[in-house]
Amino acid sequence: MLDRLAKSASSEKIRVLIVDDSATVRRALSDIISSAPDLEVMATASDPYKAAERMRDEIPDVMFLDIEMPRMDGLTFLRRIMAQRPIPVVICSTLTAEGSTAFMQALEAGAVDVITKPRVDTAQALSDSRMRICDVARAAAHARIGVRRRVVQPVKIEKKLTADAIIPHVTLRKRPGLITDRIIAIGASTGGTEALRAVLTALPLDCPGIVIVQHMPERFTASFAERLDGLCRIAVKEAETGDPVIPGRALIAPGNHHMLLERLGKQYRVVIKDGPHVSRHRPSVDVLFRSAAQAAGANAMGILLTGMGDDGAHGLLEMRSAGARTVAQDEATCVVFGMPKEAIALGAAEKILPLDRIARQITEDVRRSPEACAS
């Protein structure tokens, strides 16, 4: 048994176990995952019992798990895995608003990410599904689960668009201007749902307005915002174009759409836009951070939390160059130390903090004198 586990851990490819009661979904996921040179399907299973039998012989690097299945639901199976032998689990589901409770329970039980089942109805939908599914598999394989973190060889990723595709780059100059409210811009990906919960639940009701990009599929962001709204002292909602950014409220970018910050006189609002994936994501943290740099300058604070890849790293640097305070989550408390690591390497992070210190840093930053915040 130990030899088999060692073989799995040392495999050059990321080995994926797919658990779904639909043969069509198992085949679609298998075809997508197998198309990536660094990924392979270890096995598929139609229910948790068959998956458990397969795992007696070999432990996968990542599991894709449906929630609604016969004999045993995915949520029960997830909890048993996390109690007995934790591994990175990605929830792959068609959950709608009615299933929001189960979706949030899965994240709280230890799932590292959530994706929608693959769409194959059009070439563009298939391409988007392939990019998202393969990227999530790679991110999950890097995830810190308990004391476990698998060492994965880097793989060359296809070219990606920058924030230029959505919002033009401009050279910013620090200059006197109207004093406006402070704003907080936060970006997160894999592991970010629980990281955001930790930060937002610790904030006081009078904290600055907050804008957030969490990499998450369409429809799930509304459920996520609703759940946080019930846990936090501040209000939390899925953003809509024209929503004002006001103290005591956090706006979360809707899945599959970019979110930008705009300044109107002394106030801010958000704009929701369609457009291509930026840094392989929609919404993109780089897009939000660039807009925050341009609209708020030194009145902003940028925070980059756990996640795979480099989305947000360049945007955080633009925020710092515009006079904003910037923070990256430290490696020890990240589920995946990818995005913060890239930002730190660029010199974008003014401070590197553990997760439990970030909410306090936000409140301390607000106490700075107004004169220090002019943009």
d(CA 162, CA 196): 25
d(CA 338, CA 190): 9
Decide if 200 contacts 250 (C-beta within 8 A). yes
- The residue from 20, 113, 310, 311 that is catalytic is 311
Whether 215 is a known active-site residue: answer yes
Backbone angles phi, psi at 303, to 5 degrees: -130, 125
SS3 state of residue 213: strand
Q: What is the dihedral of CA 128, 133, 134, 139, to 10 degrees?
A: 120
d(CA 123, CA 116): 17
- Token readout for 323 is 């006079």
Pairing label, strands 183-188, 209-214: parallel
SS3 state of residue 61: coil
Whether 311 is a known active-site residue: answer yes
d(CA 350, CA 338): 17
Strand partners, 186: 212, 303
Strand partners, 329: 353
- The residue from 46, 93, 129, 189 that is catalytic is 189
Decide if 67 contacts 91 (C-beta within 8 A). yes
Pairing label, strands 267-273, 258-264: antiparallel
Report the alpha-carbon angle 125-126-128, nearest 5.
65
Q: Which residues contact 40 (CB under 8 A, 6 or more apart)?
A: 13, 14, 15, 16, 33, 34
d(CA 253, CA 247): 17
d(CA 114, CA 104): 10
> Among all residues, which ones are annotated catalytic?
189, 215, 311
